[in-house]
Amino acid sequence: MATTAKATAFGAGAVVATGVLSAFWQKRTPAPKNVEFTYFDIKAFPGEKVRLALALSGTPFKDNRVKFADWPALKPSTKYGQLPILKVDGVESYQSGAMLRWAGSLGDGSLYPRDDPEKVRKIEEMLGVSDDLHRAFMPGLYMGMGRHTQYGYPQDWPEKAEVTKRVRETFMNEELGKYMTFLTKELEKSGGFLCGDKPTIADCQMVPQVAHINSGNVDHIPKGVLNDKFPLVIAWIDRMNALPKIKHFRNESE
């Protein structure tokens, strides 16, 4: 009888402890009073993922969009010479991954539930897949943007256009399908989003990334390249964009 009583007390204590721990995590990120986010006036995923996370968390923010012509004057004043910049209650921070995780912990915390280690593990796994896709895509993208010198080519490089075309087509033919298959398998299991039936910061990061590749805005990668072979991926993008908070954000920003 005493053992049963002790076990019952222990169980009650565990429930209380769990509740206290959950409350502790939720209090770790108090609602900010003033949020400003600065990035280029494009939907590229380094900035757009943070915008989507802020919108889905229900966090009001000032969306500062920088024109490319204005960037050279702004660049020297930034900490790392790059965007985005997040300013929270007057304090600036950099690095989009840190911003994304912070934004995901706002609101009800469901975008990045730090009190659920298994869900966080899955989210981080999918963020890793996104990072791998980014690394596979970047050489062709950067070459076309005039950053070919980062890969050892001279500034004046007559073969630039030809090599850029070949690198992008190689990515499309040999890498893109592999990653879309990864996403398809996750979506088959979840039936909704990458990490379950609700969106997380993994969706915030990967939707603009994949949508950009599929948009037709990247030379030598046709518009709608994913539409026929990966319908679950397209449905997932549409599902994300149809969320009321995302639709409201799009209407406000366009």
pLDDT at 26: 46
Residue 25's pLDDT band, with cuts at 50, 70 and 90, is very low
The residues, any chain, with a CB within 8 Å of residue 57's CB and separated by 6 or more, are 103, 104, 106, 107, 108, 111
For residue range 167-209, what is the model confidence (pLDDT) as tens digits?
999 999 999 999 999 999 999 999 899 999 999 999 999 999 9
- Residue 232, classed as helix, strand or coil, is helix
What's the full length of the chain, in residues?
254
For residue range 89-115, what is the model confidence (pLDDT) as tens digits?
999 999 999 999 999 999 999 999 999
- Residue 93, classed as helix, strand or coil, is strand
More confident residue, 84 or 26: 84
Give residue for tokens 């991954």: 97
Give me the amino acid identity at 153: Y
For residue range 160-169, what is the model confidence (pLDDT) as tens digits?
889 999 999 9
Q: Pull the structure tokens for residue 129.
A: 């897949």
Ordered alpha helix ranges (H), 113-156: 117-144
Between strands 62-66 and 35-40, the pairing is parallel
Buried b (16+ CB within 10 A) or exposed e, 202-234: bbbbbbbbbbbbbeeebebbeeebbeeebeebb
Q: For the whole model, what pTM was predicted?
A: 0.86
CA distance linking residue 92 with residue 78, whole number of Å:
10
Whether the Cβ atoms of residue 50 and residue 207 lie closer than 8 Å to each other: no
The residues facing 12 across adjacent strands are none
Nearest to 49 by CA among 185, 211, 158, 252: 211
Tell whether the model's pLDDT for residue 63 goes beyond 50: yes
How large a percentage of the chain has pLDDT more than 90? 75
The residues, any chain, with a CB within 8 Å of residue 81's CB and separated by 6 or more, are 75
The residues, any chain, with a CB within 8 Å of residue 113's CB and separated by 6 or more, are 119, 120
Please give the average per-residue pLDDT across 213-226, as a whole number. 96
CA distance linking residue 179 with residue 186, whole number of Å:
11
What does residue 69 show for φ and ψ, rounded to 5 degrees?
-65, -25
The residues, any chain, with a CB within 8 Å of residue 146's CB and separated by 6 or more, are none
pLDDT at 144: 79
